[in-house]
Structure 1
Amino acid sequence: MTRITVFDPALADNAGNASSNLGDIIITRSVDRVLAELFSGADVARVSTHTPPTQALLEQALDADLNLIAGTNLLSSHVVRYNQWKLFDDPLHHANPPFLEAVLCGVGWWQYQDEPDAVTRWFYDRVLARTGPHSLRDAYSLGHLSRCGLGELYNTSCPTLWQLQGRQTAREGNAKVCLFTLTDYSRNAADEDLIRTLVRLYPEGIVFFPQGSHDLDYISSLSAFAECRNHIELLGHSPASLDDLAGRASWDYVGTRLHAGIWSLEQGHSSLILCVDNRAREIARETGLAVVERGDMTGIEHWHAGRHDGVGSIALPLDAIGRWKQRLHDFCERRVMRRRNDIGDVSAPSRAEGLRINFGWVGRAREGWVNVGIAQAQLGEIEFCLADPLPFADASAAVVCASHVLQRLERNGALRFLEECRRILRPSGVLRLAVPDLCWLVDGYRAAFDAARDAMSEGQATGGADVIARHEYAVINLVDQLCRHVPGGEMLRFWRRSPLPAAEYVMATNGVEAVRSLIALQLQDAAGEGGAGPAPGAHMSGASARPSFMQRLKYAFAPGKYPLPASAQPDAANARLGRFRTSGEPHLWMYDEVSLGLLLRQAGFADVTRRTATESAIPGFSSYALDTCNDGSTYKPESLFVEAVR
């Protein structure tokens, strides 16, 4: 049986409560029709898009044959600042999202926005199926998503419209009652005129449908509502109101809620939607859906008189809808076959086989391992200082992994650490190391240098800006962590720029580490704590302002008469700098394949072999994703991976 997870806007939470926006329920009903058509009998699970799912729900989705995102305004240009798809409690998880290979069904962009930022492009490229097929609500949404590097995008319009091909857009009949809506989160003085206009046009009264949970409070606050109260029927905020309306014989719809209007068309009633955001405006541009701008009372009266200025009937992109449906079915079938044949070794070692020890710097604890956090342990880790002997018995470990640890030690300290690793390993035990690859960094610098030199020689002042930024960052990436004297160093200063220069190059170079830092900076700025980073000359964040030249000159000639503040005196400054240089953040040495191999042999190891992020002599290594992201890409792309045998 095909297993499908629907990320469902109709659920307010994952306890089964309905969304407070009844338009979400209308959308889900349309998506369910698509599922019934393409995957009859499938086992369908549902996850709310309004509440972050539990880890168990995410694991269920990862095990599904298809993850389908039901259409609504879930896409955004700035997923850290505002994201309607609530996938995580912690925004930092946008840097390494679960590899859902999710597919979009009629999803659109939240309002008119600028182009997607670097973090957003990274996030969508990893959580969504990279080759599609994705169904977008309109060309505007498709254009923005295409900038995120995703392929096979289809402009299908919203699934709520898919049964309305050829439906007349001008008002038909002579209904004496009007169903209307207002939008509480988009309040406007024109809503007062709308109520008075509809009361005048519909002699038997108007019926208010509160699609949103606060719409009743909003209409109650309007003076026009008090004036016309005897002519207004208020429906309850409940899905049952839709069933009640469906049984009524004759009415028109006029209002600001898009999906209430589309649902009215589906029920066979004339409908006019008032534009309050990009959704109705973009859909109408492409399908002929009857809309007028909010506040256009003349346009409403013309439509009421049967003189709608738009096209006569709804015209849907039927070819795109048909292709997307077929490609979705094929995508699911391919995924089913691939997943059924993709079974890895996830066996955990027994105590008799020896310990698996994982030294890490960024809190990447894994079940089945003894996880050791360097300098500052996180949940599930043992805290340990690398200057101390390793706290494990001789020959107690079958595997030792140390990811981006060795470069934080001086050369003699690195040798002592490797000798300690050999001591605790059993005979034939495996040591796996990951360090920044000096050769890779130098090659990257040379390529960026050559491109920048060519750009300058050709006089590219503006067209070469990205090339020059790549060169600057290549230098920073090679040098900064070796010589920085303040937290974050020049790399942090570069990351703080907005917009980030050469963003794709930065993220391809430093991977999740860079993206997490960019997210943290965005969160800091959103909280009003942003800034330009440590001031030039400051030795550490939180350090007092640097004394002026005259203050330092006086101190040099007469330190007793003109003392500097204690925190600014040379001894204090040197102590701060010394603590920082040994804190583990700066890199104290760099390695390439040759120098690391020689150091391992000096420590007594044999059979030194270069590996990739996924290759290893350690059984079942790839299943632990120690060196990979959730999508299978390398966690730190600049890494050199080497294994050696005791």
Structure 2
Amino acid sequence: MKYLNLGCGDYFSKEREWVNLDFVSSYEGVIAHNLLQGIPFEDNSFDLVYHSHVLEHFSKEDGENLISECFRVLKPNGVLRIAIPDLEIIAKKYLDFLEQGISNPNDELIRANYEWMKIEMYDQTVRNTSGGNMKKYVRQDNMINEDFVIQRIGDQGRVMRNNFLNAKNSNKQVQSSEKKNTPSIITRIINKLKKVTKNKIIKFLDINLDHIAIGSFRLGGEIHQWMYDRYSLTSLLTHKGGFKIEVRDAFSSYINNWAEYKIDGKDNVVRKPDSLFIECIKK
């Protein structure tokens, strides 16, 4: 058997049947490749193609091309498994907390959950800086709905929250260290001259650095460019050549030993709880 994990990030199997590919290789054995240029393998090469929280980072058109590529490299009767943020559940929870908030305008927990669902729905589409409002929300000193947020986004939220709390606890030590390492007057003069020269060049060339920074970020791959639910993704897979389409959970699959790879979760804990898991067979 031969399996392919696209956009694997930090979650992949090192078992010999797996080929792991990501936009940037951060681990030995992970192939670096830009999926906007297609999948770099021959037709009918794999028994399984898998990607988790990758498709939503492509535009609608590029996403359709990615699905076509997945079917191209799959063997006949091979399995395509996809995990994406579930637009249906996000929308339902947003509407649920909206109604609850209208009925209970003074309930701060309901308000907090409502605000979070708005962020979960829109932030990764509209943000212009890394982490966006999601990062700001998780880095609150007092997050009254912490359990709910962690339940929604799993490891991602837990790591972000823990990093913030750890950094906060060590902040005084960092500030103290910075005071002891004040740059010399010569270094400060040189830095000032560099800044003045840079600003003059920018003004002369009529460059808007904010526009450049935002454009660079939004083309960098972090934002969500399209969203899916079980209806739209099923339609897309059917159109591209899939059948026997099934909604799964993190541990069930056409692949008999899927749970053993511990990619979508382990010990009955789902890595991305906000996910819609869908599989299909290539005709």
TM-score by length of 2: 0.83
Match of residue 399 from structure 1: 48
Partner amino acid, structure 1, of 2:22: G
Question: SS at 2:35's partner residue?
Answer: coil
- Matched ranges for 1:159-558 at <5 A: 353=1, 355-368=2-15, 369-456=18-105, 460=106, 464-528=107-171
Match of residue 599 from structure 1: 236
Mapped contact 2:8–2:20 kept (Cα < 8 A): no
Cα distance in 1 between the residues matched to 2:203 and 2:113 = 41
Mapped contact 1:365–1:380 kept (Cα < 8 A): no
Cα distance in 1 between the residues matched to 2:21 and 2:103 = 47
Is 1:635 the counterpart of 2:271? The answer is yes
Mapped contact 1:482–1:586 kept (Cα < 8 A): yes
Q: Cα 1:506–1:478, aligned 2, differ >3 Å: closer, same or farther?
A: same
Partner amino acid, structure 2, of 1:479: Y
Question: SS at 2:72's partner residue?
Answer: helix
Q: Cα 1:448–1:374, aligned 2, differ >3 Å: closer, same or farther?
A: farther
Mapped contact 2:57–2:223 kept (Cα < 8 A): yes
Partner amino acid, structure 1, of 2:14: E
Mapped contact 2:243–2:281 kept (Cα < 8 A): yes
Mapped contact 1:567–1:573 kept (Cα < 8 A): no
Structure 1 position 522, deviation (Å): 2.5
Structure 1 position 566, deviation (Å): 7.9
Q: Cα 1:452–1:373, aligned 2, differ >3 Å: closer, same or farther?
A: same
Structure 1 position 568, deviation (Å): 8.7
Cα distance in 2 between the residues matched to 1:523 and 1:621 = 35
Structure 1 position 371, deviation (Å): 1.5
Structure 1 position 527, deviation (Å): 4.1
Cα distance in 1 between the residues matched to 2:258 and 2:204 = 52
Mapped contact 1:365–1:381 kept (Cα < 8 A): no
Cα distance in 2 between the residues matched to 1:505 and 1:374 = 31
Partner amino acid, structure 1, of 2:124: Q
Match of residue 249 from structure 2: 612
Partner amino acid, structure 2, of 1:611: R
Q: Cα 1:568–1:525, aligned 2, differ >3 Å: closer, same or farther?
A: farther
Structure 2 residue ranges without an equivalent (≥5): 175-199
Mapped contact 1:361–1:404 kept (Cα < 8 A): no
Mapped contact 1:435–1:640 kept (Cα < 8 A): yes
The structure where helix makes up a greater share of residues is 2
Structure 1 position 400, deviation (Å): 0.7
Cα distance in 2 between the residues matched to 1:578 and 1:567 = 18
Partner amino acid, structure 1, of 2:10: G
Structure 1 position 604, deviation (Å): 2.1
CA RMSD of aligned residues (A): 2.3
Cα distance in 2 between the residues matched to 1:602 and 1:484 = 32
Structure 1 position 364, deviation (Å): 0.4
Q: Cα 1:521–1:496, aligned 2, differ >3 Å: closer, same or farther?
A: same
Structure 1 residue ranges without an equivalent (≥5): 1-352, 531-561
Match of residue 583 from structure 1: 220
Question: SS at 1:387's partner residue?
Answer: helix
Match of residue 207 from structure 2: 569
Structure 1 position 447, deviation (Å): 1.6
Cα distance in 2 between the residues matched to 1:405 and 1:517 = 20
Mapped contact 1:360–1:405 kept (Cα < 8 A): yes
Cα distance in 1 between the residues matched to 2:170 and 2:32 = 31
Question: SS at 2:171's partner residue?
Answer: coil
Cα distance in 2 between the residues matched to 1:395 and 1:425 = 5
Q: Cα 1:567–1:488, aligned 2, differ >3 Å: closer, same or farther?
A: farther
Question: SS at 2:83's partner residue?
Answer: strand
Match of residue 193 from structure 2: none
Cα distance in 2 between the residues matched to 1:435 and 1:587 = 11
Q: Cα 1:513–1:565, aligned 2, differ >3 Å: closer, same or farther?
A: farther
| Structure of greater relative contact order (alpha carbons < 8 Å, 6+ residues apart) | 2
Mapped contact 1:363–1:373 kept (Cα < 8 A): no
Cα distance in 1 between the residues matched to 2:148 and 2:236 = 32
Question: SS at 1:525's partner residue?
Answer: helix
Q: Cα 1:453–1:411, aligned 2, differ >3 Å: closer, same or farther?
A: same
Match of residue 350 from structure 1: none
Structure 1 position 599, deviation (Å): 1.3
Of all paired residues, the percent bearing the same amino acid is: 28
Structure 1 position 380, deviation (Å): 4.2
Cα distance in 2 between the residues matched to 1:566 and 1:421 = 48
Cα distance in 1 between the residues matched to 2:90 and 2:203 = 41
Structure 1 position 481, deviation (Å): 0.6
Structure 1 position 624, deviation (Å): 0.8
Partner amino acid, structure 2, of 1:470: N
